[in-house]
Every structure is written in C-alpha cells, then in structure tokens.
Amino acid sequence: MGERFFAKALNTCLMAAAVLAAGCGTTVQDRARISEDFRSRLAAETADHFAANPGPLSLKDAVALARRRTLKLTRQELERELSRVTRASAFSAFLPNAELAYGRFRAHGDATLSPYLRVRGGDGRYDGTALLVTQPVFAPVAWTMFAEAQYGTRISDLVRDRARQLLDVQVAACFYKAAVSARMAETRRLNIATGEALTNRIGRLAAEGYAIPAERARAEARLAGDELGYAEALDESRKARSDLSSILTFWPLAEYAIDGDSILGVLDEPWVFVDTNGAPRSVSREELERTDVAEFVWQGLLQRKDLYAGDETVNLRKAQVVEALAGFLPDIVLGGGASDFSAESLSVKGWTGGLAGTWAAFEGFRSVQAYRAARARSEAEFRLQEDRMLAVVTSVADAWRNWKETAARVKAARKMREAAALDHADAERRHDDGQETMDRVLDKLAVRDEAEVRAVSAEYAAALAEIALRQAVGLGLFETEEKENEEDRDDED
C-alpha cells in the first residue's frame, strides 16, 4: 500500500512539473471549453427562469433580477465586504494579545541562567515555556484607525446603495428601449396586415375598373415599405432586448416577451419628501406636479446617498488628521506573563507584569509631514463635497425640466393621436361615399399609425423621465428598496 501511495505521489509530482515546465498558455481548445461552459450555463439559466415565469417580463421583475444577477455591482459589493473585514481587523486593537512560546535545546559547557546562577557540566538539555499577555491601555493610532474603519463601512454601504439606484435607472432605460421597439415592431406588423387588406381591396376595385393602376401601385409600394419597416423594427427590438438581457446577465440572444406597459406603473409609486429633521411625508400626485424645481433640488440635497457618503468621507479625512496627530503621542501597554525554564534537575519558574510605553521621539519629521498631508486631504475633501452638491443641484434641475417636458409631450401626443384617428375614420367614411380617393385614405392611415407610436413612446418616455427624477432626488424606484437595504445591513452587521 505504501508503494502504491509513493507511486501515485511521484506521478502527481511529475505531472505538476511537466505542466509548470510547459507553461500555462490558453489554447484554442481551452477557449472553446470555457466559451461552451459560459454559453450553456447562461442559456440554461435564462431558459429556466422564463420557464418558471412564463408571463411577459415587467419592469419591477427586471429591476429585481438585475440586483440579484448583474455583474455591474461586483466592485461595490467587494468593497463593502472588504470594509467589514477591515473594521473587524481594526477592532483587534481593543482586545488583549496572548503569545505562548516553547523551546527545547542542548548546550555544551557551562550555561549561565542569570548573573547569580550558573550550571556547570558537560552536555545538557534545556526546556523553556513562556506565556505573555498584553492589553493596550493607550493606543491612539490604533483607536483612530478603528474609527476610520467605521467610516469606511458606512461609506461602502452608501456607495453600494447609490450604485443600486443607478443600476435601476440603467435597467429602466434598457427596458424602455426594449418596450418601445417591441411596440413599434408590433405596430409595423399590424400595418402589414392592414396594407395587405388594402392592397387586395384596391386590386379588386382595379379589376372592376373603380381604381386606377397608380393607386394599386402606391398600395403595393406602401406594403413593401411596411414590410421593410417591420424588418427594421424587429431588428431594433432584438437589439434592445439583447441589451436588456446583458444587464440582467441573461443569454443576449434569448427571445422573451416584455410587458411594456409595466413601466407606467412607476407613476403610481409614492413620493416621499423629508424635512430638515428627517421626518418623511407623502406627496400626492397633484402636489407633486405643483412643486417647483427649488423644492426638488432641496430634497436632492437632503436625500441623495452619495452626498451622505461624501459627508462620511469628510469625517473620515478628519479622523485621519486625528490619526496623524496621534503619531506624536506614546503607546502604553499593560503586560504580564509567566515562564518555566528547566535544565535537567534544575527548574526556574516565575511571572512578571507591568506597564510599558513607547514614544517616537524623532522620526525624521515623518510624523509632521503625515499631519500636513492629512490636513491637505481633509481640506480638499471638503471642497470636493461642495462640488458634489453642486452636481446634485444641476442634475436634479435637468431631470425636473426633462420631466416637465415629457409630460407636455404626452399631452400633445395624445391630442395628435386622437385627431389622427378621427381624421382617418372620416377619410374612410368619405371614401366609402365616393368623396375621397384611396391615396388620401392611405396617407391618413400612415399619419394615424405614426401618431399611435409617438403617443405610446411619449408615455413610456414620461415614465422613464420620472424614474430619472426619482433617482436624481435620491428616492428608490420601488417601495421595498429602502427596506431591502436596511435588512441587508442588519443581517451583515
């Protein structure tokens, strides 16, 4: 059995040596294997999800999927975990340290154990055991480092939460494009059906002498244009859906339905403003539409998570200034221990205890330069925070203006859709009475279809603008966002 084990170990070592000698370059076969694993895994995950959820994908489901599956939050999640590790490590400055040592050695000749104790003789074996326990009593640098770790943890939480909000906007933008393009493709498909019916109708009229060849040719040209438009809209829809799949970490070539109207559900989401004491209050839709841009800007300054992260960063820089000042102070440690030393028939036991202090009297002005650098970083961070607040003001103002403009476009688009529908119906009635040409009816039909698509696109764009405004102010996209974030922090703290 020992021989077989030795042979296997030898073979393993030889194989490892051969791999190391040959290098670890990636071959085409390796790339093909990795790619196949990636494709099959992603395609299977996509198929499994939509098999378990056969209905059209809604915006709320897309946001939830992105938060669970996206790779775009990897850096923020990693920094969040590392900040907790750093905080736990920094907390060790408050805990005692214990060291246990044991040694065995042989000495030749005389051995001096102390100025008053000497062991004579030839060769001897000596054993020593010692236990040392120390407890920091005054460690200002270590304490400030723990405070900095606390700030770092809060900063990472806020940065992650803000990154989630920005991810929601990215998902909503991709969802909007996919929804509009899908609606456009469906409209073009219906246009083809309508165009085929009109072309056949004009063909029959032409055969009976009631339509001129030019009208038939125009109907056929329109049908060909509708077919081309449908193919282009279908390609655009697939591209938009592929972009949405990518941000959801699904297989980009997967085919699935999208509930475009679900984006309008954001208009029913509650708005919550806060006062200077942090007390929240709900805002109705009527009050919201009457609120001026100044109030939205003020709410952005009060609620944006990146500004809270900036405030924590300013406090962190101040703590680093304190850390630099702590470098001028001594460290004091309370220590104690016991030892046991034996040499053949001789045994020495005892314990010690006391306070020990260290102070860096001169380090080549390194502490002075560290303090000056910390002060400079603190002052710079304060200015950067003011710059971030200015950016919030402009971003909220821009989002508010876009929100107002899209709302106005919705009203105009709805009026145009209603007028185009009435105009087309009137043209068809006049054509049936022999008072209108088919060319005119086809023109009215094209205007009606275009107005329908524009109205739907305007409604979706208004919902997307409201999502952007919510994020600019610092509100979550859905009611459950804040609760999820708080639960995450409670579970991990």
Q: Which of 22-31, 386-395, 423-432 has the lowest mean pLDDT?
A: 22-31
CB 349 within 8 A of CB 337: no
**3-class secondary-structure state, position 23:** coil
Q: What structural domains does the chain harbor?
A: 40-492 (1.20.1600.10)
- Residue type for 56, please? P
**3-class secondary-structure state, position 112:** strand
The pair of three-digit structure tokens given for residue 151, joined into one six-digit string: 């700030």
Kindly tell me if the per-residue pLDDT of 354 is higher than 50: yes
Instruction: Check residue 92 and give its pLDDT.
Output: 67
CB 400 within 8 A of CB 465: no
Residues 6+ apart with CB under 8 A from 279: none
CB 477 within 8 A of CB 471: yes
Question: Which has more confidence, 394 or 191?
Answer: 394
For the entire predicted model, the pTM comes to: 0.73
How far apart (Å, rounded) are the C-alpha atoms in residues 424 and 198?
14
Q: What is the mean pLDDT of the chain?
A: 79
How far apart (Å, rounded) are the C-alpha atoms in residues 56 and 256?
7
Distance of CA 431 to the CA centre of its chain: 57
How far apart (Å, rounded) are the C-alpha atoms in residues 228 and 223?
9
H/E stretch holding 74 reads helix 74-90
pLDDT in tens, 165-186: 888 888 999 999 999 888 888 8
Instruction: Check residue 278 and give its pLDDT.
Output: 86
Give the CA distances from residue 300 to residues 49, 172, 312, 389, 468, in Å, rounded to whole numbers and listed in that order. 37, 20, 17, 9, 12
How far apart (Å, rounded) are the C-alpha atoms in residues 398 and 227?
39
Kindly tell me if the per-residue pLDDT of 457 is higher than 50: yes
Question: Which has more confidence, 445 or 351?
Answer: 445
CB 471 within 8 A of CB 168: yes
Kindly tell me if the per-residue pLDDT of 71 is higher than 80: no
Task: Name the percent of the chain lying above pLDDT 90.
Answer: 24
